Amino acid sequence: MQGTSKKPAALMALIAAQVLCAGFFLWDVGADGVALGLTALSDWHFAIELVAALALISAVVIETRYLLTLLRRSAHLEHQVSIAASAFHDVIEEHFQGWGLTPAERDIAHFMVKGFSISEIAELRGSAEGTVKSHLNAIYRKAEVTNRGELLSLLIEDLMAMPVATETGADNPPAPASRPGVSPVS
């Protein structure tokens, strides 16, 4: 997220610099217009400064609209990620409950889903790697899978089958689970 916050800040700095330049050109065009009077309209230097000022003002307007679009899009994407994370958490918790995982197994399963290795899980929990492996085997048995990849695939498959909320709040019907031999958790 740190990289995304630099883009709007850089664009705002560019817009501010352009506003200052446009202000200077407008002031200079105004001063030249007053000094030259009606002959200013035929002076090429005056015309170039006027065109430059108008171009800078146009650029500021366009870039400001673009910045606002970027900020709205960023807020929308952050909201969508939040919804997806919440839905994934709900799918995980529903499965863990349906499988009857113990609190220790739930803890280890959460670490496993987050991508931690067996040694990292053992270190985080202050237990032996053999204990973590034993819990993982119990988790796989209860989930009716044989490894981490199958377990993650099962969780993601159920997430993908969830109804999609539309802008109006209506839900699309879920797609049926396609994993043979395993009934969905209710």
Task: State whether residue 171 is helix, strand or coil.
Answer: strand
Q: Using a CB cutoff of 8 Å and minimum separation of 24, what contacts does 142-147 make?
A: 142/99, 142/100, 142/101, 142/105, 143/95, 143/99, 144/181, 144/182
Which residue did the predictor score with more confidence, 50 or 144? 144
Q: Which helix (H) or strand (E) holds 1?
A: none
One-letter identity of residue 57: I
**Cα distance between residue 105 and residue 102, in whole Å:** 5
Q: What average pLDDT does the chain have?
A: 82
pLDDT band at 132 (very low <50, low <70, confident <90, very high): very high
CA 68, distance to chain mean position in Å, is 17
**Cα distance between residue 35 and residue 27, in whole Å:** 12
Report angle CA 3, 8, 9 to the nearest 5 degrees.
90
What would the pLDDT profile of 88-128 be if each residue is shown by its tens digit? 888 899 889 999 999 999 999 999 999 999 999 999 999 99
> Has residue 7 got a pLDDT over 60?
yes
Taking the complete model, does pTM exceed 0.85, yes or no? no
Question: 67-91 burial string, b = 16+ CB within 10 Å, else e?
Answer: beeeeeeeeeeeeeeeeeeebbeeb
